[in-house]
Amino acid sequence: MSPVSQRSVLVVDDNQPGVISMGILLKRLDYSVLTALNTFDAIKAIANMHPAVVFMNIRMTGIAACLAHISKDARLKATPVVMMGEKPDTKIMEECLKKGAAAYIIKPINPTSIYRVIQKLTEKKPRENVRVRVIFKTAVTYQNFRKISYATMLSENGVFIRALKPIPVGTKVVVSMDLPSEKPVEVEGLVIYTVAFNKDQFVEPGICIRFFNIDKTTQLGLRKFIEDQLVQDLDPNIDI
């Protein structure tokens, strides 16, 4: 059986509130989410649903037996398992790598670390930077023109801006973004692709701009803004 989706993720944890928070975050990262509250159900879910990657809480009962079962079953061992734990669990998680786990991740888990490990395990050309769907006002300046519009997608390395009349690919621009800060965030960019309006199959028209010459402080500020957008309504006291 083929996977449900190359973007499907199984979360295995007996802490139900944590599963919910992790599931919400993964959905916001554009992944389909499957859940299991014990290792027995996890094995069944991997066999039946073939997720692209599995996140498993190191402190659950039966972890060693579960990893052994997955490693010995040809149908299951192709599915990468990522262990989740805290710093005191590091040695145990390293032992799990020897028993078949593909990677481990230290809590508290943030959107960037989750995204990067999934990308590394599932994509031939993994992305480094999280994108978030968010709407904010922008001003794009190029040559002698200045266009006011709205962005609908943002990463720390670029932005997608809605536009009916796209700026040509290869055009250098300056983007001023109306984000929560003392003043608009201004960065240089290059138009790398455009999306035209299609009446037969609607896709939002616009331009994708990749940032360049962006200083580290601004880039880290954008990353923090993006991560905050993804987790701001999740209870910080819930362990994910």
* pLDDT tens, N- to C-terminus, the chain (240 residues): 444 456 899 999 998 888 998 999 999 999 999 999 999 999 999 999 999 999 999 999 999 999 999 999 888 889 999 999 999 999 999 999 999 999 999 988 889 999 999 999 999 999 999 999 999 999 999 998 999 999 999 999 999 999 998 899 999 999 999 999 889 999 999 999 999 988 788 889 999 999 999 999 999 999 999 999 999 888 655 555
State whether 87 and 174 are in the same domain. Answer: no
pLDDT at 4: 46
Give the Cα separation of 211 and 66 in Å (integer).
44
Q: What domain range includes position 172?
A: 132-231
Beta strands at 81-85 and 145-155: parallel, antiparallel or unpaired: unpaired
For residue 236, is it within any domain?
Answer: no
For residue 2, is it within any domain?
Answer: no
Pick from 88, 122, 156: which residue ends a domain? 122
pLDDT at 238: 53
pLDDT at 223: 96
Render pLDDT for 125-146 as a digit per residue (tens, 0 to 9). 999 999 999 999 999 999 989 9
State whether 33 and 114 are in the same domain. Answer: yes
pLDDT at 3: 45
DSSP string for 57-122 = ETTSTTHHHHHHHHHH-TTTTTS-EEEEE-GGGHHHHHHHHHTT--EEEESSP-HHHHHHHHHHHH
Decide: 185 and 221 in contact? Cβ < 8 Å: yes
State whether 103 and 16 are in the same domain. Answer: yes
For residue 237, is it within any domain?
Answer: no
State whether 64 and 138 are in the same domain. Answer: no
State whether 43 and 92 are in the same domain. Answer: yes
What's the predicted TM-score (pTM) here?
0.86
State whether 34 and 74 are in the same domain. Answer: yes
Split into its structural domains, the chain has a count of 2
State whether 54 and 118 are in the same domain. Answer: yes
State whether 97 and 152 are in the same domain. Answer: no
The domain that contains 78 carries what CATH number? Answer: 3.40.50.2300
The domain that contains 211 carries what CATH number? Answer: 2.40.10.220
State whether 34 and 140 are in the same domain. Answer: no
For residue 160, is it within any domain?
Answer: yes
Decide: 162 and 175 in contact? Cβ < 8 Å: no
For residue 239, is it within any domain?
Answer: no
State whether 110 and 162 are in the same domain. Answer: no
For residue 1, is it within any domain?
Answer: no
For residue 127, is it within any domain?
Answer: no
For residue 179, is it within any domain?
Answer: yes
Give the Cα separation of 240 and 135 in Å (integer).
27
State whether 19 and 115 are in the same domain. Answer: yes
Pick from 122, 144, 175: which residue ends a domain? 122
Beta strands at 206-212 and 158-162: parallel, antiparallel or unpaired: antiparallel
Pick from 122, 152, 186: which residue ends a domain? 122
Helix axes 16-28, 216-231, angle to 10 degrees: 130
State whether 184 and 163 are in the same domain. Answer: yes
